[in-house]
Amino acid sequence: MWAVKGTFLGISIFAVGAAVFMLLSLRSIGGAFIAGPGRQMAFDIRSISLVTIYNAWFWAAFAACIVIGLAIARSWPGRFSPVFWVVLAVIDLVPAGMLSLFLVLVSRLKEAAAAASAAK
Amino acid sequence: MKAITTFLLALLLCVLLPGAAHGQCQIQTFTNYGVSTSEAESGNPFSGSPGGSLQADLIVSVVVDGSATMQMESYGCPDSVVTQFNNNKQYITHFPSVLNQIGSLGGWSQGPSFCAECYSSYQTNLDSGLLNVGQTVTITSGAEVTCSMAGLVFSPPFNLLSGEIAYTRSVNTGIKAATFVLNGQLWNAWAILAYCNPATSPPDWNPLTYNAVAIYPPSSRFYIDGIAACVRINVTGAPWFCTPGVSIGWDQSLNLPQAACTHNP
């Protein structure tokens, strides 16, 4: 059971960390998650995959988060409060929502790329 | 259980009404509720070739959550009434209602009741159906919480927001506005200019930079089609606030024409 809890904890740490990293990265380059005129920007969808799923550090961070989650779950004295898991699940909704939106857009952009290739 | 609750509420009312008549016993409600509205797009924003027909769904979520504390004003109110209230206040219930409307679609919906001092969260999601990119819709959202004893305890002013899925075509000027390193990759922020036809200029979403990893030359990312989710206060002329757009770049050799961008001043 501790392995399941640890894995969930690790995935949560990674998901929240990735969301925070994205927001901080946006901020560091002068952007924001919601921006008005003069601060709006666009991101190349293919470049995003290069810094995430095709990046070794991305997967290293994922593995490290799983290990940290397992270590916490294994060494935690006593039982985790049920409230803790509920709060964690609610917090996870934010990165899960962002990931869902992103995946929908990626799938549509792939269709657009295919149409453009056909037009050539 | 329902009968017991009704009886206890009736008993509470009987106890409170004489006090209220004297203006000495009043229920004080401290609410910590909040309402938030969020928009997301889904569907098929690029259903054809570049510049083709663009459609997508707009999904609006409205959530009201929080909790409240209730107490009987003790000053000037008999201790027996205060004690009676404290012993029975767990039977008081709150009812959240949410207003989620896109144009004429949707409306008010009532959530489940919950004990007055418990944390609660009630959310509704509304799908606009397919919208053309550039089509403006009015989003009306709000929430209320009604107490079985104290009546309306939470009623913020409605958020009258407009939301849209904005489409903009831009061209890469080839001018590097900035370079930065993200996750070990060198990125270029290219300065871009909107490439919309005169009738749709300036676009609602007008990105000034296009961020891509440095391995891509600007000529291979000359035409840039992008979409973003935008929202604004529902006042004509108010600025649009948009998420960072996801974009795809096309080679300069395609010679794409100026596009009909999203333009709702």
Evaluate whether B248 touches A113 at the Cβ level (below 8 Å).
Answer: yes
Q: Which of B208, B223, B231, B254 to mutate to test the interface with A (most CBs of A within 10 A)?
A: B208
Q: Is the peptide bond before B112 cis (omega within 30 degrees of 0)?
A: no
Question: What's the average pLDDT block by block, 10 residues per block, for chain A (120 residues)?
Answer: 90 92 83 83 84 86 95 87 91 88 68 58
CB–CB contact A29 B189 (8 Å): yes
Q: Return all residues near B237 (Cβ < 8 A) that are at least 6 apart.
A: B265
Residue type, position A81, single letter: S
Q: How far apart are CA B94 and CA B148, in angstroms?
A: 6
Domain encompassing residue A8: 2-32+40-119
The pLDDT assigned to B262 comes to 83
Q: Out of B44, B184, B212, name the one closest to residue A44 (CB).
A: B212
- Give ipTM to 2 decimals: 0.72
Global pTM value: 0.55
Over the stretch B167-200, which tens digit does the pLDDT of each residue have? Answer: 888 999 989 988 988 877 788 899 999 999 898 8
pLDDT tens string B25-38: 777 778 888 888 88
Name every chain A residue with its beta carbon within 8 A of the beta carbon of B231. 34
Cβ separation A26–B187 shorter than 8 A: no
Count of domains forming chain A: 1
pLDDT in tens, B96-152: 888 888 887 888 888 888 888 888 889 999 988 888 766 777 788 888 888 888 888
Q: How far is B217 from chain A (nearest CA, A)?
A: 12
Q: Residue A15 is inside which H or E element, if any?
A: helix A2-28
User: Burial code of B50-83, b = ≥16 C-beta within 10 A, e = fewer?
Assistant: bbeebbbbbbbbbbbbbbbebebeeeebbeebbe
Which chain B residues are closer than 8 Å to A46 by Cβ? 212, 216, 248
Distance (Å, rounded) from C-alpha B75 to C-alpha B71? 12
Question: What residues of B are in contact with residue A47 (Cβ under 8 Å)?
Answer: 185, 187, 211-213, 216
Selecting from B185, B240, B242 the residue whose C-beta is nearest the C-beta of A50 gives B185
The answer to whether A44 contacts B209, with C-beta atoms less than 8 Å apart, is no
Give per-residue pLDDT as tens, B32-79.
888 888 877 775 544 444 444 567 788 888 888 888 888 877 667 788
What is the C-alpha to C-alpha distance for residues A2 and A72, in angstroms, rounded to an integer?
Answer: 9
Q: Residue A40: which of B206, B221, B224 has the nearest Cβ?
A: B206
Nearest to A47 among B187, B207, B231 (CB): B187
Q: Cβ neighbours of residue B193 under 8 Å, at least 6 residues apart?
A: B170, B171, B173
Q: How far is B78 from chain A (nearest CA, A)?
A: 38
Q: What are the angstrom distances between the C-alpha of A10 and each of A73, B149, B183, B237?
A: 9, 45, 20, 46
